[in-house]
Amino acid sequence: MMQLSGKAVSGGIVLGPIFVPDRKKEQIHCVRITDTEAEIDRVRAAVKQVKVQLQALADRALEEAGESGAAIFEAYELMLEDADYLEAIYDDIRMEKVSGARAAAATGERFAELFAGMEDEYMRARAADVRDISERLADLLDGGRETDFFPEEPSVIVADDLSPSEMVSLDRSKILAFATIQGSVGSHTAILARMMNIPALVEVPVNLEEIHTGMIAVVDGFEGTVTFEPDEDFRLQTEKRMKKEQEQLQRLESLKGRKTATKSGKKIDVYANIGSEDDVAYALENDAEGIGLFRSEFLYLGRRDFPTEEEQFQVYKRVVQRMAGRKVIIRTLDIGGDKQADYFNIGIEENPAMGYRAVRICLKQPEIFRIQLRALFRASVFGNLSVMYPMIISEEEVRQILRIAEEVQAELEAEGYPCQCPEQGIMIETPAAVMVSDELAELVDFFSIGTNDLTQYTLAIDRQNERLADYYDPHHKAILRMIRMVVENAHKHGIRVGICGELGADTELTEEFVRMGVDELSVAPSMILKVRKTVREIS
């Protein structure tokens, strides 16, 4: 019996035979191109073919994982229409005289590295999407290679990695669980696993040379372990746990459509954190009562120039319309730090987490900020939209923001656009904002506490620094006292306060947050029903 630990991305526990796919990658043929424009035409034709494939995957995902699963592949189609991505491929062909397959693979890797280097977990996870779509395009251009990736019986998939397209291509009845060496908690593969209720682990340090198809394994998505060749006692314990887990899943599903309130009747709003328009379907699938954090910076990343007002307006409009009256809180761009876009000309900073980022860019380069506010204010007439400003440290910053917002609204009205000034709130994610939250509460309509940055700034620890992992304690007394102070100051001035950082989904703290008076918890869509269950059990 051998047990390994990884990161759990989807809960559940299963026992079954493993399947190790044979996916030895062939090298892309190295061909010198003389007629570059003809090769570019070949890429354009291949893009159309890949779109057809993606539509078939979207249809299959709709059956297996619902609307939110299909939205993943619709997002892939949009990626294939991205002018920056396609032009980068064409530029490689023209300048390097390489084949379309080589150019697609190289471009995909460059774009993937851009996302992989970001601190935000959601953005890092998009690197896998770029690789997936680029590999699909490159393989088609290089002859359409196929791999042996289809188990004949229900199996636990153990592989180096697993892409969303591979996952959806498999017969759902043949996937008991999966455990991969690579991958991330925020990847679309992980999202599909949660939607399809497939227990799954990533970052499992398994040596694929030591295991083989047909071995028995137990994947535990709660403990984050995979056990190969379990003994008889372990198997019996697993079978009992599997039966109990099935009963618990049925109880969670029964909470859809139910109110999130304590036994004494205190209502708590449980919203979803999302990173793109496509995630709206996933939020609705999990019965989110609203969107507590919509990360707008995805509109600015992976491109060569700023998104236009009209581009942004259409995205914001579609999001609020799809939420059909439920609250949508959109955070203004949080570029900088780990999320870089060259065309912002931020430059290299020694300490980017404390550098030129977020609202600081907006106030130093107000022309960028004004375009986003115009799009937001125009979209606000189509639904229940609120705007939230990140990285606030002072009252003067807020006053500057509100002055710009007033000017933008006046401009739009003078130009004849239907618009309105939505609710405006700020993120409390710096110790400075906590200490002046009493004064800040007089200026805005709501607070949202970003516990991720608040924790790292308060403890002076980079949360991505593995050497300091033992010191990084989001349950630190200082953090909890700060949250309590913010809640008290907000309520003293009659405004609501929510938590949109990772602590919002920490069910060990849910009761404490409720007793503090937190009005709203915004969490990953997969955690909505679990948090609702916890709240409903509070006396």
State how far the Cα of 288 lies from the Cα of 282, in Å rounded to an integer. 9
Binding residues for Mg(2+) are 429, 453
Identify the pLDDT of residue 348. Answer: 65
Binding residues for phosphoenolpyruvate are 295, 331, 452-453, 463
Which residues are within 8 A (CB) of 230 and not within 5 positions of it... i.e. 6 or more apart?
1, 15, 216, 217, 218, 238
Strand arrangement of the beta sheet that strand 216-220 belongs to: 2-5, 225-228, 216-220, 13-19, 155-159, 175-180, 200-202, 7-10
Angstrom distances, CA of residue 525 to CA of 86, 250, 291, 464: 32, 18, 10, 23
Catalytic status, residue 362: no
Backbone φ and ψ for 231, nearest 5 degrees, come out as -80, 175
Which residues partner with 336 through β-bridges? 339
Tokens of 39: 């090769």
State how far the Cα of 311 lies from the Cα of 372, in Å rounded to an integer. 10
Given a contact cutoff of 8 angstroms between Cβ atoms, the answer to whether 408 and 373 are in contact is yes
Identify the pLDDT of residue 515. Answer: 95
Q: Rounded to an integer, what is the distance from CA 350 to the centroid of its chain?
A: 27
Give the residue carrying structure tokens 């007793």. 515
Domain 2-24+147-232 has CATH 3.30.70.250: no
| The one-letter amino acid at 347 | G
CA neighbor of 279 nearest in space, from 323, 309, 340: 323
Ranges of each domain in the chain: 2-24+147-232, 36-141, 269-536
Backbone φ and ψ for 306, nearest 5 degrees, come out as -65, 145
State how far the Cα of 84 lies from the Cα of 407, in Å rounded to an integer. 33
Identify the pLDDT of residue 341. Answer: 57
pLDDT, tens only, 262-305: 999 999 999 999 888 878 888 898 899 999 999 998 788 767 78
Q: How is domain 269-536 classified at the architecture level of CATH?
A: Alpha-Beta Barrel (3.20)
State how far the Cα of 206 lies from the Cα of 159, in Å rounded to an integer. 9
Binding residues are 295, 331, 429, 452-453, 463
Give the residue carrying structure tokens 């969107």. 291
| The one-letter amino acid at 133 | I
State how far the Cα of 477 lies from the Cα of 462, in Å rounded to an integer. 18
What number of other Cβ atoms are within 10 A of residue 461's Cβ?
15
The single residue of 362, 419, 493, 500 carrying the catalytic annotation is: 500
Q: Fold for domain 36-141?
A: Enzyme I; Chain A, domain 2 (1.10.274)
State how far the Cα of 426 lies from the Cα of 123, in Å rounded to an integer. 22
Identify the pLDDT of residue 463. Answer: 66
Catalytic status, residue 500: yes
Q: What is the pTM of this model?
A: 0.67
Average pLDDT for runs of 10 along the chain of length 539: 91 91 68 89 94 86 69 79 90 93 92 80 78 90 68 91 86 90 83 83 93 94 93 92 83 88 95 87 90 89 82 94 95 69 63 74 90 96 96 96 96 93 95 97 97 91 73 91 98 97 91 96 90 94
The single residue of 30, 188, 475, 491 carrying the catalytic annotation is: 188
Which letter does DSSP use for residue 364 in this model? H
Identify the pLDDT of residue 68. Answer: 63
Geometric angle at alpha carbon 386, from 300 and 377, rounded to 5°: 70
Torsion angle in degrees (nearest 10) through CA of 430, 436, 440, 445? 60
Sign of the C-alpha dihedral computed for residues 407, 329, 498 and 334 taken in this order: negative
